[in-house]
Structure 1
Amino acid sequence: MSLVALIGFLALTGGAAYTQTLTGFAFGLITMGGVGLTGLLSLPDAALIVSVLTFVNATQMLLKGWRDVAWREFRLVMLTSVPMLFVGYWLLEWLAGTRADLLRFILGLVIIVSSLQLARKPEPLARKSGDGSFLFFGSIAGLMGGLFSTAGPPLVYHLYRQPMPLVTVRETLVTVFALNAVFRTGLVTFSGDLPSWSTLSSLLAIPVVMGATHAARRWPPPLSPATMRRVVFILLFLSGVSLGAPAVIRLLAAA
């Protein structure tokens, strides 16, 4: 990775960490969308780096917030999330080898759908959802986590609808992301698919992520939560369209 590419990646992950600390989501989406648009890294390598950085961000947040985690719902989500993470990782390896444009289209579509979903303010439920719903959304989160290290959107939407304190929702989400990141990083390591030493230089983003996380907690922007969600929505939607549209054009031309 060149010095210019490394600086660009550090700036991208810093912004993503700052956003996730404020909202509880979007780190993987912003980072993977930015990588897909700029080509700073291959998508499989970027997904591994995102997993490591997600764990760093989550650990820093949970040092103080672990008491607020909804542990019962967390266990339900992880019960299906972990097996589906393996399925998602297998799909990534299969698509990355021979179907790069299809992979970019899928990532772009995931980002667009996620942005539209997150732009809507979830209507709160009067009663907590049943166990089956947490199992279902956990499986979708695991599949997306295995593919792109972006386990958030479906689970974010589901948890934000629950009659639980917002701090509980945020810390539960962060804990899910952290454990998924551990499993995904371990899977890549045991599969022998570690990137080159040059690519691993992107792990210099770790102190940047830590600094951005601290900055977001210490100096949050003077924006309302609704405005912050709109900003994230616009960024994600535009990056998803920019990433997916060229891939669709190439796929149609090759058909």
Structure 2
Amino acid sequence: MDLASLGGLLLLAAIAAYMQTLTGFAFGLIMMGGIGLTGVIPLREAAILVSVLVIVNALQVLRRGWRDIAMAEFIPIILSSLVFLLVGYWLLGILLAASLHWLKLVLGAVIVLSSLQLLLKPAPLEQRSSTGSFVFFGAIAGLMGGLFSTAGPPLVYHLYRQPLKAQAVRETLVAVFAINALIRLLTVAAAGNMPSANFWWSLTTIPVVIGFTFLAKRWPPPLSPATMRRLAFLLLFLSGVSLGAPALLTLIGDIS
């Protein structure tokens, strides 16, 4: 990995960690979108890196906050998400075998749809949703986590509608993402899909994630949560369109 590629990867990790700490999600989406656009490392290896960094971020967050995890919601979510994580990882292999453009198109669409969700303010529910709903959204999170190590958006929206304290929602989400990331890494190792030697340079992003997570907690910007959500939306929407549109045009050209 040359210095320019490594510098770009470090910058992406810094932005993703900062936004994740301030908004509670979007780490994987920003990293995968940015890497897909720049091509600094292959997308399959990018998903591995995101899994590692999600775990690093979670260890910082959960070191003190693990007691706030909402166990009644966490258990059905994690059980269904782990099953569908394996399905998502299997689908990743199919997309890669078909064409890299298909993978970029699906990833771009996921990022765009996730960014649009940021414009929706979750309307709080008076009563807790059914256990089946947590199983359903956990399954979607697992599917997205298996594909791209980006398990967040639909589950984030559903949990923030529940009559739970914001801190409980954040800690529960972080715990789900961390366990999904760990199981995904174990799945990669079991399948023998270990990354190339150049990948290990990308682990220099770990201290960057730690540092920018601390900075965002210690000195958050003087911006309202609504403004932060708009910034996250703009960043994700542009990256998703930039990634998916060229892939779509290429695929249409191949068909015609």
The answer to whether the superposition gives a TM-score over 0.5 is yes
Q: Is the 8 A contact 1:24 1:171 kept in 2?
A: no
Write out per-residue CA displacement over residues 211-232 of structure 1, whole angstroms, 9 at most, x where no aligned residue. Answer: 1111111111111111100100
The aligned amino acid for 2:164 is M
Structure-to-structure mapping, 1:57-76, within 5 angstroms: 57-76=57-76
Structure-to-structure mapping, 1:1-12, within 5 angstroms: 1-12=1-12
1-structure distance, mates of 2:14, 2:71: 29
Residue 97 of structure 1: CA displacement? 2.5
Structure-to-structure mapping, 1:108-123, within 5 angstroms: 108-123=108-123
Structure-to-structure mapping, 1:181-200, within 5 angstroms: 181-200=181-200
Q: Which residue of structure 2 lines up, in the alignment, with residue 225 of structure 1? A: 225
Aligned to 2:177, the other structure's residue is in SS state helix
Moved more, 91-100 or 218-227: 91-100
Write out per-residue CA displacement over residues 39-76 of structure 1, whole angstroms, 9 at most, x where no aligned residue. Answer: 11111110000000000001111101111110121111
1:103 paired with 2:119, answer no
Q: Normalising by structure 1, what TM-score? A: 0.98
The count of corresponding residues between Structure 1 and Structure 2 is 255
Write out per-residue CA displacement over residues 142-192 of structure 1, whole angstroms, 9 at most, x where no aligned residue. Answer: 000000000000100000111111111111100100000100011111111
Q: Which residue of structure 2 lines up, in the alignment, with residue 171 of structure 1? A: 171
2-structure distance, mates of 1:117, 1:179: 24
2-structure distance, mates of 1:20, 1:133: 25
Q: Which residue of structure 1 lines up, in the alignment, with residue 47 of structure 2? A: 47
Residue 94 of structure 1: CA displacement? 1.6
Q: Which residue of structure 2 lines up, in the alignment, with residue 30 of structure 1? A: 30
- Work out the percentage of aligned pairs sharing the same amino acid: 60
1-structure distance, mates of 2:87, 2:133: 20
Moved more, 13-22 or 48-57: 13-22
2-structure distance, mates of 1:94, 1:2: 30
Q: Is the 8 A contact 1:44 1:93 kept in 2?
A: no
Aligned to 1:163, the other structure's residue is in SS state coil
1:125 paired with 2:121, answer no
The aligned amino acid for 2:153 is P
1-structure distance, mates of 2:62, 2:7: 28
Q: Which residue of structure 1 lines up, in the alignment, with residue 245 of structure 2? A: 245
1:79 paired with 2:79, answer yes
2-structure distance, mates of 1:98, 1:179: 29
Residue 98 of structure 1: CA displacement? 2.8
The aligned amino acid for 1:131 is T
Unaligned runs of 5+ in 1: none
1-structure distance, mates of 2:118, 2:138: 17
Q: Which residue of structure 2 lines up, in the alignment, with residue 204 of structure 1? A: 204
2-structure distance, mates of 1:97, 1:195: 17
2-structure distance, mates of 1:94, 1:204: 30
The aligned amino acid for 1:171 is E
2-structure distance, mates of 1:39, 1:13: 14
2-structure distance, mates of 1:95, 1:136: 23
The aligned amino acid for 1:43 is L
Unaligned runs of 5+ in 2: none
2-structure distance, mates of 1:120, 1:98: 34
Report the aligned-residue RMSD. 0.8
2-structure distance, mates of 1:182, 1:142: 12
Q: Is the 8 A contact 1:53 1:206 kept in 2?
A: yes
